[in-house]
Amino acid sequence: MGIDQIISMAFVMGLIGSFHCLGMCGPIAMALPMGHRNNSSRLFGGIIYNLGRVFTYSFLGLILGLAGDFLISPKIQNIVSITFGALIVIYLLLPSKTKTVLKISPNQSLLVRLRKQISKFLYIQNNSSLFGIGMLNVLLPCGMIYLALTSSLLAGSAVKGSLFMFSFGMGTFPTMLAAVFFGSFVNQHIRSKLRKLVPVFLFFMAALLIVRGMNLGRPYLSPSLPMHSSPAAMTCH
């Protein structure tokens, strides 16, 4: 997949997924310690917070892109992409009771420590703490981020994986920056409605993964992938 295709696909995923982010992570953006700031300083703080998010996105994309480069050949990328997309669709069609049984709970001790650290940063009123909150915010359990990370795994290299997640983060940037200013207007009722749209967002992401894996030769949507790997790429690690 070309660089321009990676940027456009990831940005669109992030832009659409950002409404899910607003429903799930909006309260953190609204709780940022910036009540004492004027508008220009608040804008700068919101940018710093979101840059922290994008930094962690990019780093995780780098790691997974590198892993995918070593572990997944271009031909297998198509199969993995379609498989992941199909599994998401199947999950969405399952009864609620079955979903509850299949739900994977994150490590509670790590999750508690993560939330405690975010809480500490919320009491520190400086730009470093805002950047830290953004960095840690990304590590909270989120199905939308998991899907984006899956795509970075299939990007083909560490650089492309990092670029994918950077572009995804930039796609979420406008909505999450707006949440810093207008979060008070997004009440619990609106966030509840946004959460109900999560299956729609997940289906959209699943469709993208499936179409991408079909190797249709459609730029930006389902680009052709090389079907043969170089000897180096086939080396077992």
Neighbouring-strand partners of residue 222: 218
Report the pLDDT value the prediction gives residue 4, as an integer from 0 to 100: 73
Give the span between the Cα atoms of 207 and 53, in whole angstroms: 25
pLDDT tens-place values along the chain, 237 residues long: 567 777 887 888 888 878 777 766 777 887 888 867 788 888 899 999 999 999 999 999 999 999 988 887 777 777 877 887 888 888 778 776 665 655 556 667 788 888 899 999 988 888 899 999 999 998 988 777 888 888 888 887 899 999 999 999 999 999 888 888 776 556 666 666 766 777 777 788 788 778 877 776 666 565 665 544 443 443 443
Report the pLDDT value the prediction gives residue 233, as an integer from 0 to 100: 40
Enumerate residues 6+ apart whose C-beta is below 8 A from 234.
73
| CA 126, 61, 176, 199 torsion-angle sign | negative
Report the pLDDT value the prediction gives residue 2, as an integer from 0 to 100: 63
Report the pLDDT value the prediction gives residue 235, as an integer from 0 to 100: 41
Report the pLDDT value the prediction gives residue 94, as an integer from 0 to 100: 76
Task: Please choose, from the candidates 236, 31, 219, the residue with its C-alpha nearest in 3D space to the C-alpha of residue 124.
Answer: 31
